[in-house]
Each structure stands twice: as C-alpha cells, then as structure tokens.
A and B are shown apart, each in its own frame.
Chain A
Amino acid sequence: SQTIHQWPATLVQPVGSPLSLECTVEGTSNPNLYWYRQAAGRGLQLLFYSVGIGQISSEVPQNLSASRPQDRQFILSSKKLLLSDSGFYLCAWSASRRETQYFGPGTRLLVL
C-alpha cells in the first residue's frame, strides 16, 4: 500500500530564516505530487504541483519554491520566511491527474 510522509511535523522559525519541508511517498511510482497550504479555519490552497522529476509548476506567486529531486520526493523551500508564510503545509499525491489525492500528515509552520 502507499504511504506519504512529511517532516517535520511542527516548526517554529524566525522571520527571514530559510525553510525546507520534505515529503516522500512510498509504494507507488511516478506519482503526481502537490503542495498545499491551509490557513487557520480555511480551505486548502494549491501552491505547487509536479508530474515528474524536475517538473514543477507554481499556482500562486509567492515567497516559496518547490523541487522534485527524486521520483517520490517533493521539497518545499524558502530563502527568507515571512510572517504570512505561517500555516499548515500539506503534501499530497495522486496516481494520475484524473484520480483523487491522498494527503500526508502535514507540517505546521509558525513564523515569528
């Protein structure tokens, strides 16, 4: 069966510091991978998606970037965090763009 991992689970970072969040998927090959952010009490906003190694598309202009160095690894980064980057970051995978998505446990980021 497929599983999706994210780490760290929680993170407190000062404004202006760098960020690296990691997501890995097991039990599947060539998944579509997605990064979402959820603000408190709100729905999910898609940040990035990837259909293959090195292929990244951004949905929303922002202070973040994403990379996919391996088939089942997806990384969310920032060079300098802003207060507005605080939120719940969720990685998701799907077998294809037609199929539903499954979420990882998420990383709760607080920027102070």
Chain B
Amino acid sequence: GQSLEQPSEVTAVEGAIVQINCTYQTSGFYGLSWYQQHDGGAPTFLSYNALDGLEETGRFSSFLSRSDSYGYLLLQELQMKDSASYFCALTGGSGNTGKLIFGQGTTLQVKP
C-alpha cells in the first residue's frame, strides 16, 4: 500500500523559515503534491514535484528525493496568514487512477 508521514504540528515565528517534512512508502507514484488548508476552507494547491529536485513558487518551495522516499515544503518569510494545515499527497502510480493519497496533515502555527 501507500502511506505518508508528516509531523502533526509545527510552530514558527513571523518572518522565519520553516520546513515541513514528508516521508512516504509506495511502490510507485507520479509525483508529490503539497496543499494548504485553512480552517473551514478547501485545500488549495501549492506545489507539485514530478521529478527529483527543488520547485520554487514565490515564498514556497518543495523538494523531492525519490531515492530517499522523502520530500519537504519550505515556507520562507513566514506571515501570520500562513497559519494553516499543510498536506503532502502522492499522485498514484502504475495501475492507479491518479488518485491522491494524503498524509494526515501538519498544522503550522505562526506566532508574532
């Protein structure tokens, strides 16, 4: 089967940099996605890694290492509005329909 693990909570201060790690177990997948979800809202797409390496989108970067079964989301210049839950998700691999397998989410609290 497929499974992902992420820390349940992370706390950081405004203006700092925070890294949210995601380790996974899978027999195959197309890519690793990251989503942000504020309380009461729907998940919004942040970043997608189909290949190993770093993807940068503004203050957010995501990294994937298939050999290490590991990825992370890096948030720079933290703002109070970044307080939310962050999910990593695998896009299903061979024989799969492309369904997303989600981690349980990391709650990020940004403090002043």
Write the residues of chain A forming the contact surface with B, with a CB cutoff of 8 angstroms. 32, 34, 36, 42-44, 46, 49, 51, 57, 59, 90, 92, 94, 96-106
Contact of B43 with A97 in the complex, beta carbons under 8 Å: no
Q: Which residues of A contact B100 (CB under 8 A)?
A: 34, 36, 44, 46, 92, 101
The residue on A at minimum CB distance from B50 is A98
* Interchain CB contact (< 8 A) of A94 among B35, B41, B98: B98
Output the residue of A90, A98, A105 with the most chain B CB within 10 A. Answer: A98
Contact of B91 with A44 in the complex, beta carbons under 8 Å: no
Contact of A32 with B97 in the complex, beta carbons under 8 Å: yes
Contact of B42 with A98 in the complex, beta carbons under 8 Å: no
Contact of A101 with B33 in the complex, beta carbons under 8 Å: yes
Contact of B42 with A44 in the complex, beta carbons under 8 Å: no
Q: Which residues of A contact B76 (CB under 8 A)?
A: none
24 contacts between A and B (CB under 8 A): A32-B98, A34-B99, A36-B100, A42-B104, A43-B102, A43-B103, A44-B87, A44-B100, A46-B99, A49-B99, A90-B42, A94-B98, A97-B92, A98-B91, A99-B31, A99-B48, A99-B91, A100-B31, A101-B33, A101-B45, A101-B91, A102-B45, A103-B45, A106-B42
* Interchain CB contact (< 8 A) of B43 among A57, A96, A99, A103: A103
Category for how many chain B residues contact A? 20 to 34
> Cα distance A102–B48 when bound, in Å?
11
B96 at the interface (CB under 8 A from A): yes
* Interchain CB contact (< 8 A) of A49 among B41, B87, B97, B105: B97
The residue on A at minimum CB distance from B40 is A108
> Cα distance A50–B94 when bound, in Å?
17
> Cα distance A99–B35 when bound, in Å?
14
Contact of A51 with B97 in the complex, beta carbons under 8 Å: yes
Contact of A104 with B99 in the complex, beta carbons under 8 Å: no
The residue on A at minimum CB distance from B102 is A43
> Cα distance A46–B98 when bound, in Å?
11
